[in-house]
């Protein structure tokens, strides 16, 4: 079994691909974050796992001063390039678990599709320590949900069951309404108040090649042995081109969870 620490490092293998194919986040998410958290220009934001800056850029565009901590040096290099026009942004190459907190607390801690990679014994407690009283922890998650090319995502399971033995039989994307709103990690900590959730759904189209590139940005696909990975991708390509006209539509649920430090 591949552990969390080894899997989270695979994103740095092809930072340019990740930056090109990942869908980013709806702009309204950042407006909602600013409104709920009461953040204005000049607010100090700590971002955990900024990747190539897909969430950092919208934060910077709203006038926030951002310290972005990123484990992967290649990902951080892309983020720095994208953020070169924002002098109020600093990108630090370090694991969040090892990064020393500065003396001045932050108004918000933000983590977009990265918080689950942080050691759970550290993530919530250190985030609380980084915040001023009343500051917010905003965690963004992305889910593949039912919708879009439903028949394709049912048929493609045959490819996964053949080439990835970890695939549960009959796996299907859940309806967005069935994805639980989970705030257990902050509730149990005793450091944060009740969570507020905002949810956004959208469908994005892909050509076969674009969809395969997207799959190569996911850690579970990159971690497959090369022969299995190539077999899986060839199977998916044949299915998408042969039965679905070379076009796949994927439905995303993006969730913003905001909790306030007590």
Report pLDDT digits (tens) over 204-250. Answer: 999 999 999 999 999 899 999 999 999 999 999 999 999 999 999 99
179-207 pLDDT tens trace: 999 999 999 999 999 999 999 999 999 99
Read off the tokens for 100: 């020393």
Which residues, in sequence order, are CB contacts of 102 under 8 Å at separation 6+? 67
Read off the tokens for 37: 């958290």
User: Between these two residues, 11 and 136, which has the higher pLDDT value?
Assistant: 136
Read off the tokens for 15: 């930072």
At residue 13, the pLDDT reads: 80
At residue 14, the pLDDT reads: 85
Longest dimension (CA), the chain: 58
Residue 84 and residue 222: Cα distance in Å, rounded? Answer: 30
Reported as a pLDDT band with limits 50, 70 and 90, residue 1 is: very low
At residue 247, the pLDDT reads: 98
SS3 per residue for the chain = CCCHHHHCCHHHHHHHHHHHHCCCCCHHHHHHHHHHHCCCCCCEEEEECCCCCCCHHHHHHCCCEEEEEECCHHHHHHHHHHCCCCCCEEEEECCCCCCCCCCCCEEEEEEECCHHHCCHHHHHHHHHHHEEEEEEEEEEEEEEECCCCHHHHHHCHHHHHHHCCCCCCCCCCCCHHHCCCCCHHHHHHCCECCCEEEEEEEEEEEEHHHHHHHHCCCHHHHCCCHHHHHHHHHHHHHHHHHHHCCEEEEEEEEEEEEEEEC
At residue 43, the pLDDT reads: 98
% the chain with pLDDT above 90: 92
Which residues, in sequence order, are CB contacts of 30 under 8 Å at separation 6+? 55, 58, 59, 62
99-138 pLDDT tens trace: 999 999 999 999 999 999 999 999 999 999 999 999 999 9
At residue 2, the pLDDT reads: 43
At residue 9, the pLDDT reads: 58
Place of tokens 């190569």: 216
The CA R_g of the chain, rounded to the nearest whole Å, is 19
The average confidence (pLDDT) of the chain is 95
Which residues, in sequence order, are CB contacts of 128 under 8 Å at separation 6+? 137, 189, 191, 192, 261
Q: If you average pLDDT over residues 62-71, what whole number do you get?
A: 97
pTM exceeds 0.85, yes or no: yes
């Amino acid at each position: 079994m591949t552990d969390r620490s080894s899997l989270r490092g695979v994103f740095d293998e092809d930072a340019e691909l990740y930056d090109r194919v990942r869908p980013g986040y709806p702009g309204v998410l950042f407006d909602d974050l600013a409104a709920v958290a009461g953040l204005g220009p000049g607010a100090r934001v700590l971002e955990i796992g900024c990747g190539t800056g897909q969430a950092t850029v919208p934060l910077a565009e709203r006038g926030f001063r951002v310290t972005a901590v990123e484990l992967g040096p290649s990902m951080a290099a892309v983020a720095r390039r994208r953020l070169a026009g924002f002098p109020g942004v600093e990108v630090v190459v370090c694991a969040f678990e090892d990064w020393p907190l500065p003396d001045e607390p932050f108004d918000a801690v933000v983590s977009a599709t990265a918080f689950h990679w942080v050691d759970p014994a550290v993530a919530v407690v250190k985030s609380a320590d980084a915040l001023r009283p009343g500051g917010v922890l905003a965690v963004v998650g992305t889910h593949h949900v039912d919708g879009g090319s439903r028949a394709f995502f049912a048929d493609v399971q045959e490819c996964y069951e053949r080439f990835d033995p970890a695939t549960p039989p009959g796996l299907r994307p859940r309806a967005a309404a069935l994805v639980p709103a989970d705030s257990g990690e902050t509730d149990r900590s005793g450091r944060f108040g009740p969570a507020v959730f905002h949810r956004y759904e959208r469908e994005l189209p892909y050509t076969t090649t674009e969809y395969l590139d997207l799959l190569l940005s996911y850690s579970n696909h990159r971690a497959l042995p090369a022969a299995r990975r190539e077999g899986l991708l060839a199977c998916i390509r044949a299915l998408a081109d042969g039965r679905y006209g070379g076009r796949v539509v994927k439905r995303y649920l993006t969730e913003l969870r905001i909790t306030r430090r007590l």
